[in-house]
Amino acid sequence: MSFHGTWRRSATRAVLATGAAVWLGPGAAGASEQRYQSQLEAVARQAPDAKAPAPFTRAPVLERAELVRQVLSRNPSLEAAREAWRASLERYPRETALEDPTLSYGVAPLSITGSARFGQSVELRQQLPFPGKRGLRGELALAEAEALREDREALRLRLALLASTLFDDLFVVERSLAVTQEHLRLLGQLKQSAEAQYVTGRASQQDPLQAEVELSEVLREQVMFEAERERLRARLNGLLHRAPQAPLPPPPEALPALAAEPLPAERLQDEALRLRPELEGLRARLGGGEAAVRLAKRDSYPDVMVMGEYNSMWMDTPHQFMAGVTVNIPLDFGKRKAAVRAAEAGLKRLRREEEQLIDDIRVEVEQARSRAEEARRVVALFQERLVPAARDQVAAARAGFESGKNGFQVLIEAERNLRRVELREQTALADVQRRRAELDKALGHTPGLPRNGETR
């Protein structure tokens, strides 16, 4: 073998080895692979516990935090979102993998039965995309999976807020029933007082009848509250993935008081911008948009098809084995430039959406902060002024009726006003918790669960 022939073979092998190393090298960066593995572990960790016991089996009182935890562990929509996240995540190995190779086989039919030498050929081909394309497609897949992960977290916050709000609704109904029961007892006493006054001639027959009408009205309200309690129980059981009629423990008789605390708007808004999953999901899609732009630009570079062939019909053995490459020529620049412009427009749209979402989050946090402050102030008014004044009004009207200074209608109106104020007080107490849960969700915290050492 001549020196020049040996040199050509060595150079050819070096070029082929270098080209194979470039095209067959890792399609995705190590950081992307780490992101993929990290998400796989997170998907596995968040799988529901199939052996979890039935909730509230021995609980004497329904606790808000436990209700929220049970909803988040049992609600099917969260598991559906987790499966959607996992399915999207499995796109990554598909997008970064090479296309399947193709194998073809052919024979010379007339050489099968004749005296001629049997002719056959075998060819193997493999498509190799330009370096970096597989990695960028993998980045797109990971970005979408990360966005779905944040969508699931946003759904988790919404479910927690709904569970916490229903807990407050159930508390209001139970306390309203207690208030109603107390006023049924009070109206019974007032009716007896009116009957006694009627017997002595100090009241008209209309007064006991009016007391009976008011008693009937309170009984009607009691029926409404009991029906509402059943509807709330069905909704809570639906969130818990249980039969609507399944029993639930009663809510506590009182809600924990939330001490007034300074709520600086800027600090809360900055906290929300760090924690809100919607913003994290949009930023993941922004990363995918940037990868889409780079991929569209890289589509202007050619891909390579490598092939190896054996053909027995060549007489010389060295010529029976062939190797070669096929390269596409991306001549349609208009089509590729249009793809780049479309990807850039999509990226700009995502950036504008990010700006709008930041503004929306700031407004949502400020509104939630204002409503939370309002709810605390309203409760203070009820406890310090409205309820004491209404009770004093009933006491004064009752004393005036029994002494003959005012009619029974004044007493009934005072009782009706007290009942209305006490029912509204229960709603106001629950509103403090509702507004706090809304603020938690606006900040990116899980509504209904304790944080910073609080118990709820």
SS3 267: helix
Q: Classify residue 185 as exposed, middle or buried by CB count within 10 Å of its CB (0-12, 13-18, 19+).
A: exposed
Six token digits for residue 382:
């009820």
Over residues 145-155, the mean pLDDT reads 96
pLDDT band at 452 (very low <50, low <70, confident <90, very high): low
State the DSSP code for 132. Answer: T
Six token digits for residue 279:
């913003």
304-311 vs 120-128, strand pairing mode: antiparallel
Whole-number percent of the chain with pLDDT over 70:
91
Compute CA 24 distance to the chain's CA centroid, rounded to the nearest angstrom. 39
Lowest mean per-residue pLDDT among 5-9, 40-44, 125-129, 379-383? 5-9
C-alpha dist (Å) from residue 384 to 117, 381, 390: 110, 5, 11
Please, what sign has the CA dihedral across residues 153, 156, 158, 164? negative
Alpha-carbon span 159 to 441, nearest angstrom: 10
Q: Nearest CA to 280 among 343, 348, 357?
A: 357
**Strand order from edge to edge, sheet including 102-107:** 102-107, 120-128, 304-311, 321-327
Which contacts qualify for 286-290: CB closer than 8 Å, 24 or more apart?
286/347, 286/350, 286/351, 286/354, 287/139, 287/143, 287/146, 288/139, 288/140, 288/142, 288/143, 288/144, 288/147, 289/143, 289/343, 289/346, 289/347, 289/350, 290/347
Q: Nearest CA to 125 among 105, 109, 107?
A: 105
Tell me the pLDDT tens digit for each residue of 214-265. Answer: 999 999 999 999 999 999 999 999 999 999 999 999 999 998 876 666 578 9
CATH class of 21-45+64-107+115-443: mainly alpha
Determine the pLDDT at residue 285.
Answer: 96
Cβ(104)–Cβ(65) under 8 Å? no
pLDDT at residue 15 greater than cutoff 50 = no
pLDDT at residue 66 greater than cutoff 90 = yes
Alpha-carbon span 147 to 155, nearest angstrom: 12
C-alpha dist (Å) from residue 260 to 426, 436, 454: 19, 12, 13
pLDDT band at 205 (very low <50, low <70, confident <90, very high): confident
Measured at the CA of 128, the angle between CA 126 and CA 134, to 5 degrees, comes to 135
How does DSSP assign 209-253, residue by residue? HHHHHHHHHHHHHHHHHHHHHHHHHHHHHHHTTS-TT---PPPPS
Which of the two residues, 95 and 52, has the higher pLDDT score?
95
pLDDT at residue 7 greater than cutoff 50 = no
Cβ(118)–Cβ(111) under 8 Å? yes
pLDDT at residue 17 greater than cutoff 70 = no
pLDDT band at 14 (very low <50, low <70, confident <90, very high): very low
Cβ(203)–Cβ(197) under 8 Å? yes
Measured at the CA of 231, the angle between CA 225 and CA 235, to 5 degrees, comes to 140
Count of CA atoms in the C-beta half-sphere (13 A) of 292: 22
Q: To which residue do tokens 């001639």 refer?
A: 201
Lowest mean per-residue pLDDT among 12-21, 76-85, 184-193, 418-427? 12-21
Residues 6 or more apart from 57 whose CB is under 8 A from it?
none
Six token digits for residue 311:
């053909």
Over residues 31-45, the mean pLDDT reads 92
pLDDT at residue 454 greater than cutoff 80 = no
Alpha-carbon span 315 to 318, nearest angstrom: 9
Element (H or E) spanning 265, and its range?
Answer: helix 265-275
Cβ(312)–Cβ(121) under 8 Å? yes
